[in-house]
Structure 1
Amino acid sequence: MKKIKGELILLLAAILWGTCFVFQKMGMDYIGAYTLGAFRFIIGALALIPVMILFSKIDTKKSGKKVDLYGGFGDKHLYIGGVLCGSVLFAAASLQQIGLQYTTAGKAGFLTSLSIVLIAIITIVLTRKVQINTLIGVLLAVFGMYLLCMVEGFYLEKGDAYELAGVIFWAIQILAIDKYSKKVDGIKLSFVQFMTTGILSWVFMFLFENPQWNDIKNGAVPILYTAIIEVAVAYTLQIIGQKHTPPVIAAVILSLESVFSVISGVIILGEIMSFREIIGCVFMLLAMVIAQVPDSNAKLINKKII
């Protein structure tokens, strides 16, 4: 039951991320990648404070004993995990934003999805285990992503190098969340992660960009939308959902972000999906289902690999 709950939470995160991509792109019309990151992650972190207060009150009411709001902030694993996840998230998000200036959104989405393959490879190397259905799900997801995103053909551009570099950090971020989300409170881990990403973004903003207050005001809508929906809500859902979901399956579910991005474009902007894009969505959804089917040959496969 916990596994199903975790997967549904990750699915909700993917849906929310899918609606945010257009606002992420809009923000770059007014401000630079680091400026956008600085504001959206710090605001996202601050938005979690009332959530933490609310949950402490709920826990106090349930237990009948006062639950300390600051409980858990003395745990070293919270800061080790939060700073690690935040640093990696800063690198991944910044590279993605910079790459978006030089490549198409479709190619950025496809190249980012390759983190699924990298996570699968890392998981196999570290655990010496693999399930055939999971690997089939990964391959179907990548193929579906190709059909969905690469509608203009595949050719390398300057921004693609940034997106490919970001793949490494997206994979590390998911694996790091998998490790530390099981050790500490998810919302507090989110808070430390976002503060770390935000602070690093502020440093790089002043080093490499020249933010103007008028530009920031003009970009207020994409900044606030991505800060609340993408950062505070979706990334926190990722941490909570990954507590009970294997990293490879989590990556497959989260890759559905591109499917919901296309769907939101149809619903919100009135865009029309091509037959190729519809088939891509079908492959992506099929990948999620197949990746979760219990593999009766898993033990046998594991023994052979070991």
Structure 2
Amino acid sequence: MKKTADFTLLFVAFIWGATFVMVQNATSFLEPHSFNGIRFLIAFISLLIIYVLFIRKEQGVWSRNILIAGFKIGIWLFLGYAFQTVGLLYTTPAKAGFITGLSVVLVPLFSVLLLRMKLSQNAVIGVIAATIGLYLMTVVDTASFSLGDLLILLCAVSFAMQIIMTAKVASDYAALPLTLVQLFTVSILSFISAPIFGEDISVLVNPTIMLQTEVWSALFVTAIFATALAFLAQTHFQAYTSPARVALIFATEPVFAALTSYLWIDEKLTVTSIAGCICILFGMVIAELPAKKRKIKPDFH
């Protein structure tokens, strides 16, 4: 079962990495907030069906507190995906994958600031290495820190905060109801944001747009596999492996993002960018090595 768990979680990391290219292609037809709104609505409905049919009797009635907690966490999740999807309009999938991965490094740093946890030596090394990597990828390589890079960095901060907020309440509530509230929150906030940012949400009922291969395939993969089933797989199989091992497996996500970018859209990284990627990946891995006493929280990609 341990090998099955590792393989399944590795596949989840692959799906998360591969979706960077798919989302970038889809946003050529469907604008960012509209895309996120329908994506998370599909994911919410999918998990709600599973909850109603198989889990509801075990986990009982939802409380007001779980709705409030899920909504607060969902705000950070919304910000993470909003920054990520918009950021992909201005930067490359490979760079986005590695910069998003900084959330793994930011979690122990934010744990010190917000949860008053002690920062380990490995976490310090990880933060330094990841910072050097970010500098190499975004400043040295391109001579500027682009808008897309900034948005993806804010995405990483938001995802890290989502993990921190989840850590504060995860032991108090059942995982699936808490996640359902988060997904619904992201969907609603995305639909509200779409017209505010000038998006025409009428395209969501336009078959000419929605039946574009880039759109429906991206929605299907991101909603069903990268969100709904990925979360269920992580929740189930984490019981059969260690948190540190999960962190190391998920550290392969940006690697898959870079590989799929190279294979699908022929994105090539410069020597400087590759050096930055290696630094960030090293920082992600080393920062999570002492995490044996800490439970890894869902990192929805």
Common fold by TM > 0.5: yes
Greater CA drift, 47-56 or 180-189: 47-56
| Equivalent residue for 1:193, pick from 173, 178, 182 | 182
1:232 equivalenced with 2:218 (yes/no): no
Q: Which residue is 2:22 aligned to?
A: 23
Q: Which residue is 1:131 aligned to?
A: 120
Separation of aligned partners in 2, 1:134 and 1:8: 26
| Equivalent residue for 1:102, pick from 90, 98, 117 | 90
1:119 equivalenced with 2:107 (yes/no): yes
1:210 equivalenced with 2:200 (yes/no): yes
> Measured at CA, do residues 287 and 192 of structure 1 come closer, stay the same or move farther in structure 2, by a change above 3 Å?
same
> Measured at CA, do residues 179 and 48 of structure 1 come closer, stay the same or move farther in structure 2, by a change above 3 Å?
same
The alignment partner of 2:28 has SS state of coil
Q: Which residue is 2:294 aligned to?
A: none
> Measured at CA, do residues 169 and 288 of structure 1 come closer, stay the same or move farther in structure 2, by a change above 3 Å?
closer
Stretches of structure 2 that go unaligned for 5 or more consecutive residues are 292-301
- Contact 1:19–1:264 (Cα < 8 Å) also in 2: yes
Separation of aligned partners in 1, 2:162 and 2:83: 14
TM-score (norm 1): 0.73
> Measured at CA, do residues 271 and 153 of structure 1 come closer, stay the same or move farther in structure 2, by a change above 3 Å?
closer
- Contact 1:118–1:168 (Cα < 8 Å) also in 2: yes
The percentage of aligned residue pairs carrying the same residue is: 30
Separation of aligned partners in 2, 1:142 and 1:186: 32
Q: Which residue is 1:61 aligned to?
A: none
> Aligned ranges for residues 222-301 of structure 1 at < 5 Å?
222-237=218-233, 245=243, 254-265=250-261, 286-287=282-283, 290-293=286-289
* Root mean square deviation of aligned Cα: 3.9
Alpha-carbon deviation of 1:132?
1.0
Count residues with an aligned counterpart.
Answer: 281
The alignment partner of 1:39 has SS state of helix
Alpha-carbon deviation of 1:98?
1.5
C-alpha deviations, 1:80-99, integer Å up to 9, x for none? 22111222111221122122
- Contact 1:48–1:232 (Cα < 8 Å) also in 2: yes
Alpha-carbon deviation of 1:16?
2.1
- Contact 2:39–2:222 (Cα < 8 Å) also in 1: yes
TM-score (norm 2): 0.74
The alignment partner of 1:181 has SS state of helix
- Contact 1:33–1:97 (Cα < 8 Å) also in 2: yes
Alpha-carbon deviation of 1:15?
2.6
Separation of aligned partners in 2, 1:123 and 1:129: 8
